[in-house]
Amino acid sequence: MGQPPPVTYQPPTQPAKSSTGKTCGIIAAIVGGLVILGIVAVVLVGKVIVDTVTAPADQVNAYLADMKSGNATAAYERTCRSFKSKYSYSEFARTLDAAEEAQGKVTSYNVFSSNVTGNTATVSYTLVREKASDTFTVLLEKEGEDWKLCSFSG
């Protein structure tokens, strides 16, 4: 009888590595990145929209704060070029002084409405003085990056 053939050891073959885990990881990273970019875009667009709507009202609030504190120079600087071409600083300051003389100092104010259309806006507010209270609407125009007060009605 012959001898059996010699036994040779062969390590077990390893199954082929699956690339499914790697592919899922790449897809998850791409999706995660897109989600983060989407969130950033929504935040930035939201900020631009909010700034566009609130900036004119913020400018009117600052103007009214200047009036309340008696800072006519700062208030005048918030007005637009066409307003300044019609009214000198002296005329503006005299008008503020005359209103204070007749109606008393500004005690409070409340901006309650703002409407923006392109580079113009209208803002309505109530101005309370020691002897009177009035509601006004002001037209603002965007000059460069700044909103400026141009005309008042009320």
Each residue's pLDDT, cut to its tens digit, for the chain (154 residues) gives 567 666 666 666 766 666 676 777 777 777 777 777 666 655 555 444 544 569 999 999 999 999 999 999 999 999 999 999 999 999 999 999 999 999 999 999 999 999 999 999 999 999 999 999 999 999 999 999 999 999 999 8
Three-class secondary structure of residue 9 per DSSP: coil
Q: For the chain, which residues make up each domain, given as ranges?
A: 56-153
Residue 108: what pLDDT?
Answer: 98
Residue 16: what pLDDT?
Answer: 63
Strand order in the sheet with 146-153: 106-117, 120-129, 133-143, 146-153
Identify the CATH homologous superfamily for domain 56-153.
NTF2-like; domain 1 (3.10.450.100)
Three-class secondary structure of residue 82 per DSSP: helix
Residue 26: what pLDDT?
Answer: 77
Tokens in use for 130?
A: 């020691």
Residue 51: what pLDDT?
Answer: 47
User: How far is Cα 75 from Cα 138, in angstroms, rounded to an integer?
Assistant: 14
What predicted TM-score, i.e. pTM, was given to this entire model? 0.68
